Structure 1
Amino acid sequence: MTARVLIVDDIAANVRLLQAKLEAEYYETLTAPNGRIAIEMAIEDQPDIILLDVMMPEIDGYEVCRQLKEHAETRHIPIILITALDGREDRLSGLEAGADDFLTKPVDDVVLMARLRALVRLKQMVDDLRARESSSRRAGLTDQAVYDRQISATGNVLILDDNARQAERLMMQLGEDHRCAYETDPEKALKIAAGRVDLVVLNLTAKAFDALRWVAHLRTHEATRQRPVLAIINADERKVMLKALELGVNDVVPRPVDMLELRARARTQIKRKRYGDFLRNTLDRSLELAITDPLTHLNNRRFLDHHLNLAMARHNRGAAEDVVSVLMLDIDHFKRVNDTYGHDAGDEVIREFARRLSLNVRAIDMPCRFGGEEFVVLMPGTDQADALHIAERVRSQVADTPFALADGHLLDVTVSVGVATSRGVGDSPESLLKRADEGVYEAKQSGRNRVIVRAAA
């Protein structure tokens, strides 16, 4: 797994040493001699990882880290602080500034590469989502305020430990920032992790179960694959730590546990998880908006075209059960409603019609707004007789009860419906819709408020 790494250090010899190590592992490297240039390069070049020295002139590494994490274009880039400082306060300062990890010089090369691989995996997972979120933001579908609310939320933390007393201590400390629960049974914990959990704190030194195997199971299941894991390790068990990172543990904290460091690392993981959730939710919302009519909340023409093409392709492969019917519905005298009562009243009629339509078709049917006062219902696996029956039910439910407007007016509304059913190999989506449209035209010409079936020629 390769990536582009930005090395930031004011000492040229340190930069060259890191460059040589990283390029030997096939990483692409960029370099910056100070914090100001590093910030500019991070925004412009979008590296996958930043290795950042703490002790630099003008702007120290902590301040660079803070600025990068506050900037919308760089907050997603993982940062590893590398420094000769090894005090507790130094580590906490780095983590509080938003760093994803804090390594001390001389750097253990194997540990560094393991941390790089783990963070690159996370970075690559969100890159595609982030690109799509950017498109949504340009379209006005997301804003900064929504993002800020997402990342500032309190997290749900699950602690898995075979030592209940130790788990309770962890829960008491983390409970000052988050909602916490603990579990001593790994099977139960796996099920809980599939729910609304933002972080798993795992005792990797547990004796009652194999914690590494539990991580492997967590990463195997779709529902838990992206769940962040912060593992508690014995500081001298280097092989266990490397294996844990290889299996997908996101971060580690050594025993004896510094509770402030634990809380800082937990916050970092939860923020990163919240950012991923934000991107996925934004993407889901964008996709929904792309196929949903905003007035009626029915599916739109784009959705209909896609699913009608799929249904007709199955039908043309010749399976008898893949017969397709469509209803085309046009509200009668709709222009008169707009002209008499105004466009707001017209919108009310459209919304109420969509509601009645949705209530009177089946779960497998796909009601869509075709445009204006026209609607189409795609009915997979439905023959002409069943389609006609459903069309009559919709027509009567519209005509039998007046539409109540917000101003108190009651309107009698009717609909003309055309029904068409696929006719076998060679039929097309366009010809199916054309036949249904011809049925609507005939219904209008013969008095409206009726259903006309247009059989294949």
Structure 2
Amino acid sequence: MTARVLVVDDIPANVKLLEARLSAEYFDVATAYSGAEALALCDRAECDIVLLDVMMPDMDGFEVCRRLKSNPATHHIPVVMVTALDQPSDRIKGLEAGADDFLTKPVSDVALISRVRSLARLKMITDELRMRALTSKEIGIQSAEREAVTDTGRGGKVLIVDDRQSSYERIAQTLSAEQTVDVQSDPKEALFRAAEGDYELMIVSLGLKDFDGLRLCSQVRSLERTRGLPILAISEPDNNARLVRGLEIGVNDYLIRPIDKNEMLARVRTQVKRKRYTDRLRDNFAASIEMAITDALTGLHNRRYMETHLGALTEQAAQRGKPLAVLILDIDFFKSINDNHGHDAGDDVLREFAVRIRKAIRNIDLACRYGGEEFVIVMPETDLAVAGMVAERIRRRIAGEAFSIQQGAKSLDVTLSIGIAALGGAGDTAAAMLKRADQALYRAKRDGRNRVVEEAA
């Protein structure tokens, strides 16, 4: 795995040193010698990670970071501050500006490369989600970026895994001012707790007495339900080898004991914000997929989904020698409802019609709006005789109770006609079955409507 790393420093020697280190690990390196130049490169999406010096003329690294993180177009780019400043207050200032990490010079090659690789993996995942989310934006779903730049990272749900009471009590007390905190002192139960708890961050002590904290981190990453859960590891001093290993297996961030309270609060907020952002991207993508296959008015699947799904069900039924039936339903004289009562009344009828269909069929049956006032029901493992009984039950349910329109001010009697076809012998297709059902529907309409007609294969 590689990434394009932007090195920002006003001292050429520092830039060359970092460029050489990163190039030796096969990273693609871009350089900038001022904050303004760095912002311009990020705006053009020419980097995956920013290594940012703090002490620069005109615009310091803190301001550069703040601008990157407040811009919806660039806030997702990981920023690592690399500086000679070594005071806790400087580190906290950088984290509060939005930096993903704050490394103090001199930085070991191992620590630097491990951190860059870890953030590069995270950036790749985020980029994939952002690319998918473009579809959501195009169809009108609110952009996740706008919410992300205003998110404070507070009010999150955090799970602490630590078996030292004095340690987890101090951590919980500090975090409780901003987050909802749970503690799991038995690491063997932590994975189950994390999977069931809908947490936004998991804090894991690497100094557990009788359990390997890194193994727990690995298990969290391997389980589908917790794969996207951020992990913040807490390590003892001079335990760099385990921290590096943790970053390699998917730990997102770390703290070194003794823990600075303000630094912990800042790092926790960063991870909670990132988790919420990726969750919004995933939710938006899922919503766009749902919109692509769902009829907005009735909530049923649309014709596109039905045609694809029917083809798969037809093949499956033919291979297994199982029956399959299709019903095409058409609301009688629907045009007159729109003409006499308005399109809003027609919409009321369509919505209620969909509700009644859902109540009349099984969970395994597929109900779709085919177009206009036509609907299709696909019934797996159902022969023509049983499909006929279900169709007659639906017909009676529609005709037996008037439809409310205009917010209950009026009601209408509605009937429907239904054509049925079943999967025939070898060589029968979904298209042919639909055509036969449509022909049966035509006969039902021709013979007086408000009836069910079966068409054998």
Is the shorter-chain TM-score for this pair beyond 0.5, marking a shared fold? yes
Aligned to 1:210: 212
Q: 1:36 is matched by which residue type in structure 2?
A: A
Aligned to 2:66: 66
Among 261, 264, 273, the alignment partner of 1:262 is 264
Q: Deviations over 1:379-416 (max 9, x none)?
A: 12221112111111111100111112224222110010
Distance 2:215 2:185 in 1: 15
Q: 2:418 is matched by which residue type in structure 1?
A: V
Aligned to 2:140: 140
Contact 1:416–1:450 (Cα < 8 Å) also in 2:
yes
Aligned to 1:335: 335
Distance 1:61 1:146 in 2: 24
Counting aligned pairs with the same residue, the percent is 48
Aligned to 1:293: 295
Distance 1:135 1:66 in 2: 28
Aligned to 1:416: 417
Q: Deviations over 1:202-231 (max 9, x none)?
A: 111121322111112111211111111111
Distance 2:150 2:445 in 1: 52
Aligned to 2:105: 105
Q: CA deviation at 1:151?
A: 6.2
Q: CA deviation at 1:308?
A: 0.9
Contact 1:151–1:275 (Cα < 8 Å) also in 2:
no
Q: 2:14 is matched by which residue type in structure 1?
A: N
Contact 2:152–2:269 (Cα < 8 Å) also in 1:
no
Aligned to 2:91: 91
Contact 1:150–1:278 (Cα < 8 Å) also in 2:
no
Distance 1:148 1:49 in 2: 18
Contact 2:444–2:453 (Cα < 8 Å) also in 1:
yes
What are structure 2's unaligned runs of at least 5 residues?
Answer: none
Q: 1:27 is matched by which residue type in structure 2?
A: F
- Shift in alpha-carbon separation, 1:95–1:150, aligned structure 2, 3 A: closer
- Shift in alpha-carbon separation, 1:219–1:72, aligned structure 2, 3 A: same
Distance 1:138 1:11 in 2: 43
Contact 2:232–2:251 (Cα < 8 Å) also in 1:
yes
- Shift in alpha-carbon separation, 1:151–1:345, aligned structure 2, 3 A: farther
Matches within 5 A, 1:371-410: 371-405=371-405, 406-410=407-411
- Shift in alpha-carbon separation, 1:147–1:424, aligned structure 2, 3 A: farther
Aligned to 2:286: 284
Aligned to 2:309: 307
Matched residue SS, 1:45: coil
Aligned to 1:57: 57
Aligned to 2:244: 242
Aligned to 1:453: 454
Distance 1:455 1:148 in 2: 61
- Shift in alpha-carbon separation, 1:295–1:425, aligned structure 2, 3 A: same
Distance 1:208 1:174 in 2: 26
What are structure 1's unaligned runs of at least 5 residues?
Answer: none
Matched residue SS, 1:264: helix
Q: Deviations over 1:223-265 (max 9, x none)?
A: 1111111111112111111111122111111000101101100
More displaced 10-residue stretch of structure 1: 439-448 or 159-168:
159-168
Distance 1:256 1:205 in 2: 13
Distance 1:398 1:147 in 2: 47
What TM-score, normalized by structure 2, do the two folds share? 0.97
- Shift in alpha-carbon separation, 1:429–1:133, aligned structure 2, 3 A: same
Aligned to 1:436: 437
User: How many residue pairs end up in the alignment?
Assistant: 454
- CA RMSD in angstroms comes to 1.4
Q: 1:299 is matched by which residue type in structure 2?
A: H
More displaced 10-residue stretch of structure 1: 43-52 or 147-156:
147-156
Distance 1:150 1:290 in 2: 29
- Shift in alpha-carbon separation, 1:38–1:368, aligned structure 2, 3 A: same
Aligned to 1:121: 121
Q: Deviations over 1:363-390 (max 9, x none)?
A: 1001001111000011122211121111
- Shift in alpha-carbon separation, 1:151–1:370, aligned structure 2, 3 A: farther
Aligned to 1:350: 350
Work out whether 1:176 is the aligned partner of 2:165: no
- Shift in alpha-carbon separation, 1:299–1:148, aligned structure 2, 3 A: farther
Aligned to 2:364: 364
Work out whether 1:229 is the aligned partner of 2:220: no
Distance 2:388 2:426 in 1: 22
Contact 2:69–2:149 (Cα < 8 Å) also in 1:
no
Matched residue SS, 2:52: strand
Q: 1:281 is matched by which residue type in structure 2?
A: D
Contact 1:46–1:74 (Cα < 8 Å) also in 2:
no
Distance 1:209 1:23 in 2: 38
Matched residue SS, 2:420: strand
Contact 1:19–1:29 (Cα < 8 Å) also in 2:
yes
Contact 1:315–1:425 (Cα < 8 Å) also in 2:
no
Distance 1:92 1:130 in 2: 29
Q: Deviations over 1:7-31 (max 9, x none)?
A: 1111111111111111111101111
- Shift in alpha-carbon separation, 1:215–1:28, aligned structure 2, 3 A: same
Matched residue SS, 1:223: helix
Contact 2:300–2:368 (Cα < 8 Å) also in 1:
yes
Distance 2:124 2:384 in 1: 50
Distance 2:154 2:398 in 1: 46
Q: Deviations over 1:67-119 (max 9, x none)?
A: 11111111111110000111111100100000001111111110001111111
Q: CA deviation at 1:312?
A: 2.1
Q: CA deviation at 1:150?
A: 6.2
Q: 2:180 is matched by which residue type in structure 1?
A: R
Q: 1:166 is matched by which residue type in structure 2?
A: S
- Shift in alpha-carbon separation, 1:376–1:151, aligned structure 2, 3 A: farther
Matched residue SS, 1:326: strand
Matched residue SS, 2:364: coil
Distance 1:177 1:370 in 2: 51
